[in-house]
Amino acid sequence: MKRYAENELKEWKIRLDRKPLIIRGARQVGKSYLVREFGEQYFDSMIEVNFEVDIWAEDLFEKKDPAAIVAFLEAKYNQSVVKGRTLLFLDEIQASPQALAALRYFYEKMPELHVIAAGSLLDFVLHDHSFSMPVGRIEYLHLGPMSFEEFLLATNGNIKLKMLESFSIDKEFSKQLHMSLMDDFRQYCVIGGMPGAIAAYLKNNSYLDVQRSQESILATYMDDFSKYSSKVDDNFLRKVFTRMPMLVGKKVKYTHVDPNQRSKKVADAIEHLELAKIITRIVHTYANGIPLGAEVNQRDFKMLFLDIGLLCRACRLDMTDILSAEDLMLVNSGAICEQFIGQHLLYEVPPYQQPELYCWIRQKAGTSSEVDFVIQQGIRIIPVEVKAGKTGRLKSIHVFVSEKHQNFALRFNADVPSIVETATVVPQREPESFTLLSLPLYMVGQAKRLIKESMNKKM
């Protein structure tokens, strides 16, 4: 299955200032598969070391001597390591922190050798390590679930994908194509972006096989809880894990997770799930300027689950209801649409950049407004609203535009794309003109391109 991250790997391969690369992401998002496919296609040979399976490897990498390590690997695998033509893949590297520390010596003493590492629970090691990290001598690539575009490629939707990528906002969009892509969108909501679930569907076109795969992934996450930390209660972590899918799209209060536990215990559990990349906090930004993360309130946040397919499975949503729903607002109050948009916007940043996403929550006595997401496009701040149906009020966007004096807003809904010039309607405030770009939910991967196009045309 094609992953766009492969393009980043190809660019990394030929870069003169290349450093050992660490791929970060949740378990089963396809890190190992991506590296193996890349190694097979673009290198003459590859040596793979798995630190969870190859128990001898930790002692080997403690030497921190690349020449000695490579010599041993050549002898063990009876395979020559040729700089520039052999890929060294260090999988599950979180199981050997010493191997992480040794990466600096590959950069300093053997920079010609291509080295890629990956680890599912790597962020726990990076968050609480007692060794010297090779700061400035490694680089990262963040990998999430497969996107809707990648899903189309995997399910023979190449022609529809080309039409999406070539669409211009001043063109009329075919209603027949729109209806077909909405069907694909619903199918993606059910299957999700986990490579294992997509592969299960492609094998037999069976949604039952998809459910089995998703259940296996969810069970694997819970099995991992014992590896997280001795400071966290496994049973309580499972309880929080089962609550998280129900809270997507809502402002999270610790009492919503467990009213009988101290806030500190709930906060610790959420932090551990976030380190495992199973959930992501969407933190409130005041959005008075860029970067958006410079002015946040960590206490006000919403939640995203890792993947929309896993979310639907964890919530025990009926697949047939989602596949046939004309208005997804009727299914889980539209939270699955917010999850879909959120998980795509989260990974819209360059893959070497830490994924992050923000919302805007305004609470004053007697009134409140909440913008689902706030994104940055160049020096512009753009509020983003998600609607499950074709219509819906945009009260919060009007408030945001009026307060922040922004003149561009983005809406995702179930209708065909459109762009209009309009004005705010906020009590006791003067109207402010702004451009509203409306895109169908499935166009989230084209949003930044179309925003830029719309702004250029306006100028």
Secondary structure of 7-66 as H, E, C letters: HHHHHHHHCCCCCCEEEECCCCCCHHHHHHHHHHHHCCEEEEEECCCCCCHHHHHCCCCH
CA-wise closest residue to 199 among 335, 38, 3: 3
The residue assigned the tokens 């209708």 is: 415
Strands 367-377 and 408-413: unpaired
Tens digit of each residue's pLDDT (9 = 90 or more) over 55-74: 999 999 988 899 999 999 99
pLDDT score at 332:
65
The residue assigned the tokens 């002898």 is: 75
Tell me: pLDDT of 329 over 60.
no
CA 342 from centroid of its chain's CA atoms: 8
Give the domain-ending residue among 122, 142, 162.
142
Give CA separation, 259 vs 186, 237, 303, in Å. 34, 15, 18
Helices (H), 229-370: 234-243, 254-257, 263-275, 308-314, 319-324, 335-346
CA 163 from centroid of its chain's CA atoms: 24
Assess whether the previous peptide bond of 417 is cis (omega < 30° from 0). no
Give CA separation, 309 vs 217, 414, 435, in Å. 11, 19, 33
Instruction: Say yes or no: 174 and 286 in one domain.
Output: yes
Host H or E run for residue 198: helix 195-204
Tens digit of each residue's pLDDT (9 = 90 or more) over 129-157: 555 667 789 999 999 999 999 999 999 99
User: 3-state secondary structure string, 408-453?
Assistant: EEEEEECCCCEEEEEECCCCCCCCCEEEEEEEEHHHHHHHHHHHHH
Tell me: pLDDT of 326 over 90.
no
Instruction: Say yes or no: 24 and 124 in one domain.
Output: yes
Domain span including residue 11: 5-142
Give the domain-ending residue among 114, 142, 170.
142
Tens digit of each residue's pLDDT (9 = 90 or more) over 3-62: 999 999 999 999 999 999 999 999 999 999 999 999 999 999 999 999 999 999 999 998
pLDDT score at 333:
58
Tell me: pLDDT of 458 over 70.
no
Q: CB count, 10 Å around CB of 232?
A: 18
The span from the CA of 137 to the CA of 145, in Å, is 27
Instruction: Say yes or no: 399 and 295 in one domain.
Output: yes
CA 261 from centroid of its chain's CA atoms: 30
Instruction: Say yes or no: 158 and 299 in one domain.
Output: yes
Q: Are 249 and 280 in contact (CB under 8 A)?
A: no
Instruction: Say yes or no: 239 and 254 in one domain.
Output: yes
User: 3-state secondary structure string, 387-403?
Assistant: CCCCCCCCHHHHHHHHH
Instruction: Say yes or no: 153 and 215 in one domain.
Output: yes
CA-wise closest residue to 361 among 292, 295, 285, 291: 285
pLDDT score at 412:
97
| Exposure on the CB side of residue 360, measured as CA atoms within 13 A | 24
Residues 6+ away with beta carbon under 8 Å from 300: 251, 283, 284, 361
Residues 6+ away with beta carbon under 8 Å from 162: none
Give CA separation, 398 vs 91, 338, 394, in Å. 48, 19, 6
Instruction: Say yes or no: 280 and 238 in one domain.
Output: yes
Instruction: Say yes or no: 110 and 173 in one domain.
Output: no
Give the domain-ending residue among 142, 167, 202.
142
pLDDT score at 243:
93
Tell me: pLDDT of 288 over 70.
yes
Instruction: Say yes or no: 202 and 313 in one domain.
Output: yes
Q: How many independent structural domains does the chain possess?
A: 2
Structure tokens at 111: 């920079």
Instruction: Say yes or no: 96 and 164 in one domain.
Output: no
Tens digit of each residue's pLDDT (9 = 90 or more) over 181-208: 999 999 999 999 999 999 999 999 999 9
Instruction: Say yes or no: 111 and 229 in one domain.
Output: no
Instruction: Say yes or no: 165 and 212 in one domain.
Output: yes
* Confidence category of residue 97, pLDDT binned at 50, 70, 90: confident
CATH of the domain at 98: 3.40.50.300
The residue assigned the tokens 């400071």 is: 231
CA-wise closest residue to 288 among 151, 405, 133, 153: 405
